[in-house]
Amino acid sequence: MIFIPHWTAVFFVFPFITFLYIDMLGFLYLSGVQINAISYITLVMSIGLMVDFIMHILLRYYEAKGTREQRVVETLSTMGASILVGAISTFLGVMLLVFSTSAMINNIFVAFIGLVTFGVLHGLIFLPTILAMIGPE
């Protein structure tokens, strides 16, 4: 809570984290990963990492000046590339896990692929769209 830039950001953070959690559960289910201790720990860890995608965009949006659309454009032009590079480096970092024969490592691989995909989709596409429509001025 102390990292949320303004009290109104709570109305964006908590719904998005809920969406991301539901998306990850569905992705794990569709990928054939059963929820057990390992996949649950990976899920909790991935939620923690996906918060970064949301919080960096929100923090930059609240620091920007102008109309909603101007703030979203400035946010994506300054912070968007950094988030995308971070997502690509995370994706490339876990790509070697695909060659593992361990079911535990494969579960971690699937979870990280989901977290990068959903984190980028929500942080760079869905959240800026919502902020441009109903974000605080």
Q: How do residues 43-91 score in pLDDT, each as one tens digit? A: 888 888 888 899 999 999 999 999 999 999 999 999 999 999 999 999 9
What's the count of helices (H) and strands (E) in the chain, helices before strands?
6, 0
Asked if the model's pLDDT at residue 123 lies above 90, the reply is: yes
Nearest to residue 90, comparing CAs of 67, 116, 70? 116
What pLDDT, on a 0 to 100 scale, did the predictor assign at position 1? 65
Provide the CATH number for the domain around residue 42.
1.20.1640.10
Residue 62 CB burial class (10 angstroms; 0-12, 13-18, ≥19): middle
Structural domain tally of the chain? 1
Give 7's pLDDT tier (boundaries 50, 70, 90): confident
Taking the C-alpha atoms of residue 8 and residue 111, their distance in angstroms, rounded to an integer, is 30
> Does the residue 88 lie in any domain?
yes
Q: Which domain holds residue 48?
A: 7-134
* Structural domain contains residue 57: yes
Residue 85 lies in a domain: yes
pLDDT of residue 60: 94
The mean predicted confidence, pLDDT, of the chain is 91
Percentage, residues of the chain above pLDDT 70: 99
Does 38 map to a domain? yes
